[in-house]
A and B are shown apart, each in its own frame.
Chain A
Amino acid sequence: MKSLLIPHAYKKIGWILLVPSIVAGLFFMFVTELPFSPKIWTFGYFGQEFLSQPKSPIRLDKIELIPNLISVLLLIGGLLVMFSKEKKEDEYINQIRLNSLQNSVFFNYILLFFCIVFIHGIPFFHVMIYNLFTIILIYILRFHFLIYKNATNE
């Protein structure tokens, strides 16, 4: 079976992208009014006209640079950390990966369940945004916790 894992060297790059993006993401959770908010043009499909009829299937949209950049860096960093091999990858590490993936998917949807039940209206859009990253983040936390526990608990 072909593995999706990439070489261990990418893990460092992943951490370098992931940690600052999480810090920046948390910062922008609380600071909504920025002194500057640069915008860039990008290709868009639905964009702002989601609820009305888009004039053309593909067109240019002007989007906020900072939140989108943070999201993209968080995703790239998270995926690099998640899918890069350990220094010595073996079948036990593979089992820990599977366990972490099961846990992250399970807890992600449990969390989503409670959010659907208890959070309504506009705040629920925030839940939808955070929910984009929870599987990756829970996986990374769980995987590294198990690796650490296994290395220290003899």
Chain B
Amino acid sequence: MNNKIKVERAVNNLTQEQLAEKVSVTRQTINAIELKKFVPSTVLAMKICKVFNKTIEDVFSLEEND
């Protein structure tokens, strides 16, 4: 699954640590999601989108082999 978390973080001027704190996970989790090593649960994905004030489709998109 592709995601634009890094871009959205830059737009919102947030560090990984700050975003992690806002959605109650570790910084390593945000890092793993950005590196596409981990696909977040629906709940976490929605929390992240809420921080950026975006819809799920704005931040996450399916890859061809998903």
Q: What is A's interface to B at a CB cutoff of 8 Å?
A: 88, 90-93, 95, 150-151, 154
Contact = CB atoms under 8 A, between A and B. Distances in A.
A91 B41 contact: yes
Contacts of B33: 92
A151 B28 contact: yes
B32 A92 contact: yes
B28 A91 contact: no
Interface of B: 24-26, 28-29, 31-33, 38, 40-41, 44
16 contacts: A88-B26, A90-B24, A90-B25, A90-B26, A91-B25, A91-B29, A91-B40, A91-B44, A92-B25, A92-B28, A92-B33, A93-B26, A93-B29, A95-B38, A150-B32, A154-B31
B31 A88 contact: no
Nearest to B41: A91
A91 B20 CA distance: 12
B29 A90 contact: yes
Nearest to B44: A91
Contacts of A151: 28
A95 B28 CA distance: 13
Nearest to B39: A95
Contacts of B32: 92, 150
B9 to A, nearest CB: 14
Listed from nearest, the 5 A-B pairs whose CB atoms lie closest are: A92-B29, A90-B25, A88-B26, A150-B28, A92-B38
A151 B31 CA distance: 10
A91 B26 CA distance: 10
A91 B42 CA distance: 11
A148 to B, nearest CB: 11
Nearest to B38: A92
A93 B26 CA distance: 9
Contacts of B44: 91
**Best-buried of A91, A92, A95, A154 by chain B (most CB within 10 Å):** A92
A150 B35 CA distance: 11
Nearest to A88: B26
Contacts of A154: 31
